[in-house]
């Protein structure tokens, strides 16, 4: 059986899925038609229910609650892994952000959710592909930008300055890890197949870790502009135990994020978002026995 699978060409995703899609592990008769796209494109395709399995930003998860199921493995989550708000002028302070033109890496990204959470009154924003934001800030096309992925490791070398660590703000206020992205399955897929793929992704992560710090050709060929050092920084930051199994801590972090998103988008709400973990609303995939 063959299934469509979407994920990004970033080192954390290619590291996670290499063994699965290139059959370095036993895939138990399953094949995958791979689609490599940037995260906002993946979010858009998930909203269209295009792929059988896909990486998404957790920022779009509130819009997928009726159509998709969230797998336990393959995601990105942790402490100290959040997006950064950066600028070219080292004199800009957080108090000035509401008056700036800000570049954001996609409307449905977790980065945008965290930015809106920290700066709810900042309205002058434009959406960019994540790897174009540094250049937009450097050129003066925008005043500041929210960066993710490998740009966390390169912005200072390019003469840019951090205004706010949006992830640190989230962690302080919610007492929760940052849920960046996860793997969803379309609800058209039978649950036993979802569980089989979930296990295979966990095995693919284990295979990758067992061979690390070797960078496979599959990872490096999709990250051609990065040095091996930056690839390893990327993998070290975004791939961890949560990528094998989000566990209860991860599930609580996702529920918190979805709950706060819903509060932020409730037109009748006039209160600040609650930081308590709500009753479960996210369609988590039960683990197979």
What does the CA dihedral 215, 216, 219, 225 come to, rounded to 10 degrees? 60
Q: Let me know how many helices (H) and strands (E) the chain has, helices first.
A: 10, 11
Contact yes or no for 178/253 (Cβ under 8 A): yes
d(CA 89, CA 128): 20
d(CA 147, CA 145): 6
Which candidate in 68, 90, 149, 259 is catalytic? Answer: 149
Tokens of 258: 């979805």
Report which of 248, 245, 188, 289 is spatially closest to residue 73, judged by C-alpha positions: 245
d(CA 203, CA 2): 18
d(CA 38, CA 5): 13
Helix, strand, coil shares of the chain as percentages rounded to 5? 45, 20, 40
Q: Is 68 a catalytic residue?
A: no
Query: Which helix (H) or strand (E) element contains residue 104?
Result: strand 102-104
B/e letters for 115-136, b = 16+ CB within 10 Å, e = fewer, are bbbbbeebeebeebebbebbeb
Name the packing angle between helices 11-21 and 228-238 (round to 10°): 80
Contact yes or no for 89/42 (Cβ under 8 A): no
d(CA 158, CA 135): 9
The catalytic site residues sit at 149
């Amino acid at each position: 059986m063959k299934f469509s699978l979407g994920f990004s060409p970033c080192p954390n995703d290619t590291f996670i899925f290499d063994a699965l899609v290139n059959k370095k592990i036993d895939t138990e008769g399953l094949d995958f038609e791979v689609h490599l796209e940037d995260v906002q494109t993946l979010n858009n395709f998930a909203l269209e229910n295009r792929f059988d399995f896909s990486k998404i930003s957790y920022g779009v998860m509130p819009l997928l609650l009726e159509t998709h199921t969230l797998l336990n493995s393959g995601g990105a989550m942790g402490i100290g892994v959040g997006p950064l708000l950066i600028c070219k002028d080292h004199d800009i302070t957080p108090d000035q952000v509401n008056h700036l033109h800000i570049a954001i890496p996609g409307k449905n990204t977790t980065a945008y959710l965290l930015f809106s959470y920290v700066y709810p009154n900042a309205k002058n924003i434009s959406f960019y592909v994540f790897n174009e934001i540094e250049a937009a800030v450097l050129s003066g096309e925008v005043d500041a930008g929210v960066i993710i992925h490998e740009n966390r490791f390169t912005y200072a070398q390019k003469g840019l300055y951090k205004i706010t660590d949006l992830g640190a703000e989230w962690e302080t206020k919610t007492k929760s890890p940052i849920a960046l992205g996860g793997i969803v399955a379309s609800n058209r897929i039978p649950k036993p197949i979802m569980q089989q793929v979930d296990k295979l992704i966990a095995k693919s992560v284990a295979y990758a870790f067992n061979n690390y710090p070797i960078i496979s050709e599959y990872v490096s060929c999709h990250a051609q502009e990065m040095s091996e050092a930056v690839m390893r920084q990327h993998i070290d930051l975004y791939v961890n135990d949560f990528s094998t199994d989000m566990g209860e801590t991860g599930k609580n972090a996702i529920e918190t994020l979805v709950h706060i998103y819903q509060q932020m988008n409730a037109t009748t709400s006039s209160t600040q978002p609650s930081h308590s973990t709500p009753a479960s609303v996210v369609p988590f995939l039960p683990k197979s026995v």
